Amino acid sequence: MAGRVSRGLVAAVAGAVALSACATDGKDDKPKSASAKAPAPGRNKGYAHDPFPSTYHAYPGVPTLVRNVTVYDGEGGRIERGAVLFAGGKVVAVGQTLEAPAGATVIDGTGKWVTPGIIDIHSHLGDYPSPQVEALSDGNEATDPVTADVWAEHSVWPQDPGFGRALANGGVTTLQILPGSANLFGGRSVVLKNVYARTMQGMKFPGAGYGLKMACGENPKRVYGGKNRKPSTRMGNVAVDRATWAKAVAYKRKWDKYEDSGGDAPDRDIAMDTLRGVLAGEIRVQNHCYRADEMAVVMDMAKEFGYKVTAFHHAVEAYKIGDLLKQNDTCAAVWADWYGFKMESYDGIGENLALLQKEGACAMIHSDDENGIQRLNQEVAKALASGRRAGIAITDEAAWEWLSFNPAKALGIADRTGSLKPGKMADVVLWNGNPLSVYSRPEKVWVDGALLYDANDPKRRPVSDFELGQPGEGDVK
Amino acid sequence: MKALLLAAAALIAAPVSAQTIAITGGTVAIGDGSQPITGGTVVIRDGRVVAAGSGVAVPAGAQIVDATGKWVTPGIVAGIGSLGLVDVGGVQESNDSRARTSPFNAGLDVSTAINPHGVIIGNERAGGVTRAIVADDAAGSIFAGQGAIIDLGDDPDPITRPRAFQYVELGEGGADRAGGSRPAAYAMLFDAFAQAADFRRNPAGFDGRSTDSLLKRADAEALLPVLDGRMPLVVHVERASDIRQVLTLPRRYPGLKLILAGAAEGWMVAPEIAAARVPVMASAIADLPASFEQLAATESNVGRMTRAGITVGVLADGRGGEHGVTQFAGNLVAIARVPGATGLDWGQAFATITSKPAQVMGMDGEIGSLRAGRRADVVLWDGDPLELSSAPVSVLIDGRAQPMSSRQRRLRDRYLTPGETDLPKAYSR
């Protein structure tokens, strides 16, 4: 992953910084010469880029062959009465007929479907967990419109019961946790494997890059306007954004110079580290934005400062500018049919996803909701049906790209998950029927080849610490 | 498709309620819990259902609507929500669902505020919702006020039953609104009932107009039909112990006609609810411990309560619109196949969004099913109405064909191709 350093390198960098401090602390009376300046640490090595590294590990699995199933490979491919083989945590083969290796578990999937695990690019599980009490409400650092210094992972409570529901009812195997949208710069996101762990680090998707949550529109101007602070208007939103990016450009210039040429290390600014990461292409911008006209402004602003918006989230008006999004290579992450709950969602329509697909723009479903994340397959089914009624022909298997491959691309992890291709993580769902039918549910869910949910085995159903010993513990939820 | 368009056109062309209409050849779901009937017939006359089912004779001279390949059902009865009270939830000026600073509470009457021409009403109607249970949210009191049953017809009169129920919060929400605890909520409830009795005894001597009066005259007056059982009391509680407590209220107030709303932990006390013959409006999908009063929430709640003999309707919640209850009901069918879960069969599930909510509100003689004599709220669907791929193709309310267009449909049509052509988009309609 670009910009990522190993733990070994972190130690080396720390050592270099210490040396640099020694060389400039004034105890040596000799005058400094240009040739005596501290050596250049090298680009992106001036400070740790991964101070909270993933400790996730795949749980043990057994080689598994699921056959006689309808397979959606996640990249638009479909095989009737096909087979999927995975072993060692990875997809081994997908095909019409596959031989079971010795010792493999063989599952007859007649009448069932196999798909890649669902990826939700927009979730607040862990930072707005259940129960929704103030003491656990950690999603919005709504004390300043620019909080690029906060990291959602530092709010993630790994005991959120929502993770287990998303796995068992939703077939969700990967999710991005974002800060909320009160702020223009909400902070860093984190990508998690949907596998319970004692620590946030234990859930962190190994090697996944960070995102920066940004927000335009009503929320920032309402939150800060309500405090009689800037921004209180949409123009105020953009003004604060641009002022902040201008600082970030200068910060990046200073740090690039230091890392390339050495000398005195500039002061660290944790918020600016994140924005520098965006400008360097290391961190992806995930931008909450509803209205078409505002998305167009944001894309121009990105060009002004030399970054790219990876995806607009909640883009209920994306269908009005599918052509523009395509030109800018920017994705839209949307709900199927949410609309009307606030002014900027007034023009939401159920055909949004299908119209984007028709235009050739990158589109995907998202939840932003602890209930919706349990039914993203159903949301896609509704969006698909709306599109077909509007005369837009999209196959079921192509629509599955909205659930796994496109979000994987927008998270920069499509080389590792999001589709059933040999060598990729065996993040796999066996559905008890057509997953685009309201009547189907996950029967088994594997993450990295480990069976972590089995509808037929109560021992393969997670129960978070919070629910242990409470009414309803271990119930089928 | 052509036949379908013709059928819809025929419905629209039908003179208002004047004629007998026979809808033939479709899969008919009565909505009363029975299973769908293929090749059924629905006969309506003068805005009412005459007969529905298999082997129903088509009266001579009836206008025939061919529903072959379609499903024919009663319209959805959605709620408890804010249909007709809101244009945009987040735009306070357009939102009548919560009276934040009003000195009044139980006396508030939502039937004064329903706007039948709102965009959301049009969208929900096109989504198959024909009647809705509408209530305010409680604001400065545990009492939210008097809710209404409305129709979504494209006509000036949306009210089916005004002042159909009183709505009160008695769980965490009640505690919050009463000053911080459940005992405070009960104190407010008991005192309000006591004051209502005072008002009944001596209206002239009732202090309900001074600024420091705990209950206004209008509020006291509105509670009298509740005490008499002429108006049901919808009580929002979730926790099992809260439900038990609510079920004791009729011992103190024998006239009370209770309805439970929420009841996420209802399955834990299902035999008690059933024995008390109290109907319930519950969420089909709430399965998270969203609060400490919903720790035992499960999707099996509706199925388990139904199995215990309770009349259960499904609450419309979610931001996709109230017609989304079809999806929730479909999920109740889905979990019937999940080991350890309790779901419903198709007929039961469809009833939770049609006849059951009507029954909960004491309106099932009028709405919610295609049984003879009911108002002719009829929806033709292009497939199984609980399935995600299905949508209504025509809607009748009181026997009248409804427009199927909506603002959202117009936006879709304008942006089927996003680019501008020889004129700006603003000229495309």
A336 in contact with chain B, both atoms CB, cutoff 8 A: yes
The residue of chain B with its CA nearest to that of A378 is B388
Range of the domain at B102: 76-367
Please indicate, yes or no, whether residues B20 and B128 belong to a single structural domain of this protein. no
Q: Write the pLDDT tens digit of every residue in B294-334.
A: 999 999 999 999 999 999 999 997 788 999 999 999 999 99
Please indicate, yes or no, whether residues B238 and B350 belong to a single structural domain of this protein. yes
Q: How far is B288 from chain A (nearest CA, A)?
A: 7
Please indicate, yes or no, whether residues B80 and B56 belong to a single structural domain of this protein. no
A390 in contact with chain B, both atoms CB, cutoff 8 A: yes
Count: domains in chain B = 2
What pLDDT score was predicted for residue B212?
A: 83
Please indicate, yes or no, whether residues B143 and B266 belong to a single structural domain of this protein. yes
Q: Look at residue B385 and tell me if it is in a domain.
A: no
Residues 6+ apart with CB under 8 A from A409: A331, A362, A418
SS3 labels along B386-409: CCCCCCEEEEEECCEECCCCCHHH
What pLDDT score was predicted for residue A22?
A: 38
| pLDDT over 80 (residue B29) | yes
Q: Look at residue B128 and tell me if it is in a domain.
A: yes
Q: Give exposure, A15-54, as e/b (b: 16+ Cβ within 10 Å).
A: ebbeebeeebeeeeeeeeeeeeebebbeebbbbbbbeebb
What pLDDT score was predicted for residue A21?
A: 37
Which amino acid is residue A72, in one-letter code? Answer: Y
The residue of chain A with its CA nearest to that of B287 is A477
What pLDDT score was predicted for residue A30?
A: 53
Tell me, what CATH number does B401's domain have? 2.30.40.10
Comparing B51 with B210, the larger pLDDT belongs to B51
Please indicate, yes or no, whether residues B113 and B230 belong to a single structural domain of this protein. yes
Q: Look at residue B129 and tell me if it is in a domain.
A: yes
Q: Look at residue B411 and tell me if it is in a domain.
A: no
Check CB contact under 8 Å for B288 and A384: no
Q: Which two tokens stand for residue B123?
A: 């969208």
Please indicate, yes or no, whether residues B178 and B46 belong to a single structural domain of this protein. no
Q: Look at residue B84 and tell me if it is in a domain.
A: yes
* pTM recorded for the entire structure: 0.93
Q: Which two tokens stand for residue B8?
A: 């819809």
What pLDDT score was predicted for residue A34?
A: 52
- How many CB atoms sit inside 10 A of residue B21's CB? 24
Q: Write the pLDDT tens digit of every residue in B221-246.
A: 999 999 999 999 999 999 999 999 99
CA A151 – CA A210 distance, rounded (Å): 9
What pLDDT score was predicted for residue A404?
A: 98
- Residues of B within 8 A of A340 (CB-CB) are 88-89, 119-120, 123, 319, 321
Q: Are A17 and A9 in contact (CB under 8 A)?
A: no
- How many CB atoms sit inside 10 A of residue B317's CB? 16
Mean pLDDT of B174-197: 97
What pLDDT score was predicted for residue A5?
A: 35
Tell me, what CATH number does B261's domain have? 3.20.20.140
Structural domain boundaries in chain A: 1-51, 117-420
One pLDDT digit (tens) per residue for chain A, 477 residues: 333 333 333 333 333 333 333 334 444 455 555 557 889 999 999 999 999 999 999 999 999 999 999 999 999 999 999 999 999 999 999 999 999 999 999 999 999 999 999 999 999 999 999 999 999 999 999 999 999 999 999 999 999 999 999 999 999 999 999 999 999 999 999 999 999 999 999 999 999 999 999 999 999 999 999 999 999 999 999 999 999 999 999 999 999 999 999 999 999 999 999 999 999 999 999 999 999 999 999 999 999 999 999 999 999 999 999 999 999 999 999 999 999 999 999 999 999 999 999 999 999 999 999 999 999 999 999 999 999 999 999 999 999 999 999 999 999 999 999 999 999 999 999 999 999 999 999 999 999 999 999 999 999 999 999 999 999 999 999
Secondary structure class of A431 (helix, strand, coil): strand
A355 in contact with chain B, both atoms CB, cutoff 8 A: yes
The backbone torsions φ and ψ at residue A442, rounded to the nearest 5 degrees and listed phi first, read -60, 140
Q: Look at residue B32 and tell me if it is in a domain.
A: yes
Q: Write the pLDDT tens digit of every residue in A17-61.
A: 333 333 344 444 555 555 578 899 999 999 999 999 999 999 999
Going through A210-299 in order, the beta strands assigned E by DSSP cover 211-215, 284-288
CA B79 – CA B98 distance, rounded (Å): 16
Compare CB distances from A455 to B289, B339, B412 and report the shortest one's residue.
B339
Going through B224-337 in order, the beta strands assigned E by DSSP cover 233-237, 258-262, 280-282, 312-314
User: Which letter does DSSP use for residue A97 in this model?
Assistant: S
Q: In terms of CATH, what superfamily is A117-420?
A: Metal-dependent hydrolases (3.20.20.140)
Check CB contact under 8 Å for B415 and A132: no
Please indicate, yes or no, whether residues B155 and B68 belong to a single structural domain of this protein. no
Please indicate, yes or no, whether residues B234 and B85 belong to a single structural domain of this protein. yes
Which contiguous run of DSSP H or E holds residue B47?
none
What pLDDT score was predicted for residue A31?
A: 52
Q: Give exposure, B134-151, as e/b (b: 16+ Cβ within 10 Å).
A: bbbbbbebbbbbbbbbbb
- Residues of A within 8 A of B291 (CB-CB) are 131-133
Please indicate, yes or no, whether residues B92 and B196 belong to a single structural domain of this protein. yes
Residue of B302, B290, B374 whose CA lies nearest to B341: B302
Check CB contact under 8 Å for A340 and B291: no
Q: Which two tokens stand for residue B249?
A: 């209220």
- Residues of B within 8 A of A353 (CB-CB) are none
Q: Write the pLDDT tens digit of every residue in B368-413.
A: 999 999 999 999 999 999 999 999 999 999 999 999 999 999 999 9
Q: Look at residue B418 and tell me if it is in a domain.
A: no
Please indicate, yes or no, whether residues B168 and B220 belong to a single structural domain of this protein. yes
Q: Dihedral, CA atoms, A413, A417, A420, A423, nearest 10 degrees?
A: 90
- Residues of A within 8 A of B90 (CB-CB) are 218, 341-343
Compare CB distances from B290 to A132, A321, A359 and report the shortest one's residue.
A132
What pLDDT score was predicted for residue A35?
A: 57
Please indicate, yes or no, whether residues B311 and B340 belong to a single structural domain of this protein. yes
Q: Are B407 and B123 in contact (CB under 8 A)?
A: yes
Mean pLDDT of chain B: 94
Greatest C-alpha distance within chain B: 74
Q: What residues are paired with B76 via a beta bridge?
A: B129
Q: Give the ipTM of the model, two decimals please.
A: 0.94
Please indicate, yes or no, whether residues B25 and B130 belong to a single structural domain of this protein. no
Angstrom CA distances, B252 to B189, B193, B274, stand at 12, 11, 19
What pLDDT score was predicted for residue A12?
A: 38
